[in-house]
A and B are shown apart, each in its own frame.
Chain A
Amino acid sequence: MRARRWRQVGVLMIGPLLLGLASGCGGGGRPAPLTVKGSDTMVILGQRWAEVYMSAHPGTIIQVTGGGSGTGFAALINGTTDICQASRPIKEEERKQVEERFGAPPHETVVARDGLAIYLHADNPVAELTLAQLRHIYGGRITRWNGVGGPNAPIVLYGRENSSGTYEYFKEHVLEKGDFAVSVQTLPGTAAVVNAVARDRNGIGYGGAAYLKGVKECAVKVDESSPATLPTAENVRSRAYPISRELYFYSRKVPEGPMKAFVDFALSDPGQKLVTEVGYFPVR
């Protein structure tokens, strides 16, 4: 009698659990979605690709999420995403982890190029900076705008969190691996940086060229004698703009099936047209 009671209670508690599992696993003929995760810089681009691709291929479901390049690589290593979008090349450490777990190095595809724009407030008279000036500004050695030909006002620095691929890229390529000034205010997301600079007459920020709203971009030159260039399609593709980088897809193995179709679409003419629409630069 007592035992039967307990069994009933057991069934009551475990039954729904089993049901939940079954419905979670079965899926009833719907294909598993293709998951794309990683760089915050690339979220919008990935979503546009996915939208257009899915409307042409109604059978395929593609889920695109952000979190940052590092998050994407972590998900790739843990097997929780199919494609990792990254705004930086994979690190040796991450490559090794993929190889250890899955027996082969990850597959890399360059899908777009990005120019890292320098944002200034629209009323700032400064129009161009050299890489060295940028290094000194963000390193905290130039602290007022009159140090670079602007008005006598303090420079307010904005940047990205140290968890972002953009942060690492900027630190490596502009600061030449030096330290950021302690006064750099870090904001979550490029849109937040743009927003902050748009509201701050003395502000300067950096981030993807796709987010230019309410701020002006600053022309950048390698040194005093070289020409100053803006992050335009021309300049980024020809690498005349000095702060540009590649945007990648990483997968655990060479793409095949639906994944290959999606990657091919991203690289196709319509796919590369979307790259331009979103504000990045085509690779082909």
Chain B
Amino acid sequence: MAATPVSSPAVAPAAIPLRPLVHGARPRSLRVREAVIDVLLRLCALSAVAGLLLIVVFVLREALPVLLDPETRREASLERFFATAMWQPVGDVPKYGIAPLLLGTLKVVLVAMVFAVPVSVLAAVYASEFAPARVREGLKPVIELLAGIPSVVLGFFALIVLASWVQSLTGAVSRLNALNAGFALGLGIVPTIFSVSEDALRSVPRSYREASLALGASRWATAWNVILPAAGAGVSAGILLGLARAVGETMIVLMASGNAAMISGTPLDSVRTLSASIAAELAEVVVGSPHYATLFFLGGILFLTTFVINVGAGLFVDRLRRRLAGA
């Protein structure tokens, strides 16, 4: 590869016939065509935004009875969500305690982050600062390939294989638990954090490295004290994007966590998350019932959480850009 001579770049542009760009000289048909293309592109851009807005409106509208409708509120209301610690929405006396679901989501996400953040950030530091070019070119696609594994496959792996390892290592009573689901979830978000962090680290100007090395700092000191802080905002953005995905990820936790809505302090107990509850229950719920509205309310909570996290990540990215460009 390296030995082949660089091919001449001068040929390509000449192949495209250029129309005259003088406004008055443009034929009418061309103007019409451009107008049509303009409208179509605008429609595409708008439909994405409209889709998002419609989803928000839909979720909120279906969740609203929890706050407003007296009929629904007799069974499911904000006060009732915290009046009981039990999530058993089907039965003669339905119980809509969402505390175990919130705690369960928190537990799984915490385990996933504790596992995934150091692994993926350090892998990104290695790839951008230490790895020889050939290793880096191999490492990046392989880790990003991990993002291409369908979450149901990760979940299945956790259900059959990982759970037995985790149990034999920890001696947990329940095979499927927060630790197991958290590990699998961590595997799922490593590519996100790695990819964004690596880009951020690599976009730190070369002059930073050179200055640090010239002052006598070792490569490790340079990476840890100069490059990582300089890319801090970008790495944080990567972590936040990973966090947002972890909060919303459904299939992995549905399969690997055991889905028991328990309140407990240990990660070795089974947990039920917000997303898994929606996935497991929404299919059979009577449309318009309190249970239905409650599930949409949970969806609203999830949406709001990931939205705030994503906006936060966006702010970090902006800051990184400004910092590297300006200061």
A186/B283 in contact, CB under 8 A? no
Bound CA span A200–B270, Å: 14
A182/B260 in contact, CB under 8 A? yes
B283/A171 in contact, CB under 8 A? no
Pick the contact of B258: A70, A93, A164, A185 (CB < 8 A). A185
Chain B residues with CB under 8 A of A9: 36
Pick the contact of B173: A154, A167, A182, A192 (CB < 8 A). A154
The reply to whether the CB of B176 lies closer than 8 angstroms to some CB of chain A is yes
B259/A177 in contact, CB under 8 A? no
**Closest beta carbon of chain B to A213's beta carbon, Å:** 15
Given contacts A71-B283, A183-B269, A185-B258, 19 further A-B contacts (CB under 8 A): A2-B32, A70-B284, A70-B286, A156-B174, A156-B175, A161-B259, A161-B280, A163-B283, A164-B284, A167-B90, A182-B86, A182-B261, A185-B176, A185-B270, A186-B259, A187-B258, A187-B259, A188-B255, A196-B176
Contact residues, B265-305 vs A (CB, 8 A): 269-270, 272, 280-281, 283-287
Pick the contact of B91: A179, A184, A187, A196 (CB < 8 A). A179
The reply to whether the CB of B89 lies closer than 8 angstroms to some CB of chain A is yes
Chain A residues with CB under 8 A of B86: 179, 182
The reply to whether the CB of B254 lies closer than 8 angstroms to some CB of chain A is yes
Chain A residues with CB under 8 A of B263: 182
Contact residues, A30-85 vs B (CB, 8 A): 67-71, 74
Chain B residues with CB under 8 A of A183: 174, 260, 262, 269-270
A5-B36, A156-B173 in contact; A186/B280 too (CB < 8 A)? yes
Chain B residues with CB under 8 A of A199: 163-164, 175
Chain A residues with CB under 8 A of B287: 74
The proximity string for B residues 1-42 relative to A, scoring 1 for CB distances below 8 Å and 0 otherwise, is: 000000000000000000000000000110010001000000
Bound CA span A163–B282, Å: 8
The proximity string for B residues 63-95 relative to A, scoring 1 for CB distances below 8 Å and 0 otherwise, is: 000000000000000000000011111111001
The reply to whether the CB of B100 lies closer than 8 angstroms to some CB of chain A is yes
Contact residues, A136-191 vs B (CB, 8 A): 154, 156-157, 161-164, 167-168, 171, 177, 179-180, 182-188
Which 8 residue pairs of A and B lie closest in terms of their CB atoms, listed nearest first? A70-B284, A163-B284, A185-B258, A162-B90, A186-B259, A161-B280, A185-B260, A182-B262
A5/B173 in contact, CB under 8 A? no
Residues of A within 8 A of B (CB): 1-2, 5, 9, 67-71, 74, 93, 154, 156-157, 161-164, 167-168, 171, 177, 179-180, 182-188, 192, 195-196, 199-200, 202
**Closest beta carbon of chain A to B143's beta carbon, Å:** 30
**Closest beta carbon of chain B to A216's beta carbon, Å:** 18
The proximity string for B residues 189-209 relative to A, scoring 1 for CB distances below 8 Å and 0 otherwise, is: 000000000000000000000
Pick the contact of A188: B87, B175, B280 (CB < 8 A). B280
Sample 24 A-B pairs with CB under 8 A, ordered by A number. Answer: A9-B36, A67-B283, A68-B284, A70-B285, A71-B283, A71-B284, A74-B284, A156-B173, A161-B280, A162-B89, A163-B90, A163-B283, A164-B284, A177-B91, A179-B95, A182-B260, A182-B261, A183-B174, A183-B262, A186-B258, A188-B255, A195-B160, A199-B164, A200-B175
A179/B281 in contact, CB under 8 A? no
Taking CB as reference atom, which chain A residue is nearest B270? A185
A162-B89, A168-B90, A179-B91 in contact; A186/B32 too (CB < 8 A)? no
Chain B residues with CB under 8 A of A187: 258-259
Chain B residues with CB under 8 A of A68: 283-284
Chain A residues with CB under 8 A of B281: 161-163
Bound CA span A69–B284, Å: 8
B92/A177 in contact, CB under 8 A? yes
Bound CA span A187–B53, Å: 34
**Closest beta carbon of chain A to B118's beta carbon, Å:** 30
Chain A residues with CB under 8 A of B174: 156, 183, 185
Bound CA span A199–B176, Å: 11
The proximity string for B residues 140-168 relative to A, scoring 1 for CB distances below 8 Å and 0 otherwise, is: 00000000000000000001100110000
A183-B260, A186-B259, A186-B260 in contact; A162/B88 too (CB < 8 A)? yes
Q: Which of A162, A167, A202 has the most CB of B within 10 A?
A: A162
A93/B286 in contact, CB under 8 A? yes
Chain B residues with CB under 8 A of A192: 159
